[in-house]
């Protein structure tokens, strides 16, 4: 029996591509790549809707190195889409033997994304993956040259599609036809496409050559400030955000609270100087009910213990906030 490995991003296109090939009586196994910047949650939910198994592959470190220095550059933000797609294809190709599979399926659509899915970019991915002749793009196959799988009769080309461009009408109609209802927006779940996250990541990589998973996860939450090179100040914007930050904190982190006024949770990660501590206290004041006071008392100390140190400061001004805020 013919068997294919389908790259499942968690979006609609990749699951439709897998379903389209499955409809030809071909066994399909989903492959989802997990990194620091995207996870398998959507892929798990989507594969259940078309009843195919899913294998999750963690390539976090390999992907991070590519993000830092992509051969083909970044997209609009920090997303190295061309290099990322080629890496996924190559790694999936290495799994063909393990799963005794014949080829790879992807949900790419010609010209849907101007930079990463034009004909030139698709050809670059095909070439650099090292498994170009094993890649089938079912949603746009009819506007691309015939593949080895079609020529050998493993796949019926007439039952594939020729979608091109940014429109989503055909995909939406297919989703309705196949009862696929629970799918995310086309924007996807990659943090690297988010402008604010990308600004923070670019700034972090200036100071930290190999950031930890925790450092990368913290970029998602709060307001970020850098006063000196070896530490970051983070201030929560909401109670829900504070709860998420707390999950990532350790005894090495320093927490701040304004003594007499309610406000934002402020923490320092890294190796703070006296200058950092003073500014963190000023940030605490700025995002508290005491922001208009001339002076406030701020408690601080090791995050996991009662705060036993105090500092008197004037809450930070808008100019000071703008000077040190990242993104």
DSSP H helices in the chain = 12-22, 41-50, 60-68, 81-93, 119-129, 148-151, 169-177, 195-207, 213-218, 239-246, 274-286, 318-324
pLDDT for the residue 133: 92
pLDDT for the residue 188: 61
Render pLDDT for 249-260 as a digit per residue (tens, 0 to 9): 999 999 999 999
Nearest CA among 284, 323, 321, 316 for reference residue 300: 284
Say what angle helices 81-93 and 60-68 make with each other, to 10 degrees.
150
Q: What is the pLDDT confidence band of residue 39, given thresholds at 50, 70 and 90? A: very high
CB atoms under 10 Å from CB of 309, counted, come to 13
H/E stretch holding 136 reads strand 135-136
Q: Which residue has the higher pLDDT, 165 or 57?
A: 57
Q: What is the pLDDT confidence band of residue 122, given thresholds at 50, 70 and 90? A: confident
Compute the radius of gyration of the chain from its Cα atoms: 24
Mean per-residue pLDDT over the chain, rounded: 94
pLDDT of 174 strictly over 80: yes
pLDDT of 208 strictly over 70: yes
Q: What is the pLDDT confidence band of residue 123, given thresholds at 50, 70 and 90? A: confident
pLDDT for the residue 184: 82
Nearest CA among 253, 256, 249, 284 for reference residue 271: 253
Q: How far apart are CA 13 and CA 240, in angstroms?
A: 32
CB atoms under 10 Å from CB of 306, counted, come to 7
Helix and strand numbers (H, E) in the chain are 12, 12
pLDDT of 166 strictly over 90: no
Render pLDDT for 63-82 as a digit per residue (tens, 0 to 9): 999 999 999 999 899 999 99
Q: How far apart are CA 96 and CA 112, in angstroms?
A: 27
Decide if 10 contacts 50 (C-beta within 8 A): no
Mean pLDDT across 171-196: 87
Tokens of 319: 């100019």
pLDDT of 289 strictly over 80: yes
Q: What is the pLDDT confidence band of residue 121, given thresholds at 50, 70 and 90? A: confident
Render pLDDT for 229-284 as a digit per residue (tens, 0 to 9): 999 999 999 999 999 999 999 999 999 999 999 999 999 999 999 999 999 999 99
Q: Which domains does the chain have, with CATH numbers?
A: 3-190 (3.40.50.620), 194-326 (no CATH)
Say what angle helices 119-129 and 81-93 make with each other, to 10 degrees.
40
Secondary structure class of 160 (helix, strand, coil): coil
Q: What is the pLDDT confidence band of residue 189, given thresholds at 50, 70 and 90? A: confident
Tokens of 20: 């389209």
Question: Running DSSP on this structure, what letter comes out for residue 220?
Answer: T
pLDDT for the residue 113: 77
pLDDT of 183 strictly over 90: no
């Amino acid at each position: 029996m013919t068997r294919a490995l389908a790259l499942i991003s968690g979006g609609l296109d990749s699951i439709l591509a897998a379903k389209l090939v499955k409809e030809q009586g071909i066994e399909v196994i989903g492959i989802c790549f997990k990194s620091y910047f995207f996870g398998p949650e959507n892929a798990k939910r989507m594969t259940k809707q078309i009843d195919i198994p899913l294998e999750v592959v963690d390539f976090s470190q390999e992907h991070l190195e590519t993000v830092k220095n992509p051969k083909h550059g970044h997209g609009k933000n920090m997303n190295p889409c061309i290099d990322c797609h080629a890496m996924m294809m190559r790694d999936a190709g290495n799994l063909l033997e393990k799963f005794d599979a014949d080829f790879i399926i992807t949900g790419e659509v010609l010209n849907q994304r101007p930079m990463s899915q034009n004909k030139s970019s698709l050809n670059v991915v095909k070439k650099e993956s090292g498994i170009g002749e094993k890649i089938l793009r079912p949603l746009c196959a009819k506007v691309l040259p015939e593949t080895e799988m079609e020529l050998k009769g493993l796949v019926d080309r007439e039952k594939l599609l020729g979608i091109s461009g940014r429109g989503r009408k055909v995909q939406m109609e297919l989703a309705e036809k196949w009862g696929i209802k629970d799918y995310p927006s086309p924007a996807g779940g990659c943090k690297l496409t988010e402008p604010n996250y990308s600004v923070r990541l670019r700034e972090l990589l200036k100071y930290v050559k190999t950031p930890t998973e925790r450092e990368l996860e913290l970029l998602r939450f709060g307001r970020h400030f850098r006063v000196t090179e070896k530490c970051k100040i983070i201030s929560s914007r909401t109670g829900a955000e504070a709860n998420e930050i707390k999950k990532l904190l350790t005894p090495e982190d320093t927490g701040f609270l304004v003594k007499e006024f309610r406000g934002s949770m402020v923490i320092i990660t890294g190796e703070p100087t006296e200058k950092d501590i003073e500014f963190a206290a000023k940030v605490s004041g700025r995002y508290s009910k005491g922001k208009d006071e001339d002076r406030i008392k701020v408690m601080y100390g090791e995050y996991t213990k009662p705060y036993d140190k105090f500092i008197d400061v004037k809450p930070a001004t808008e100019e000071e906030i703008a000077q040190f805020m990242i993104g």
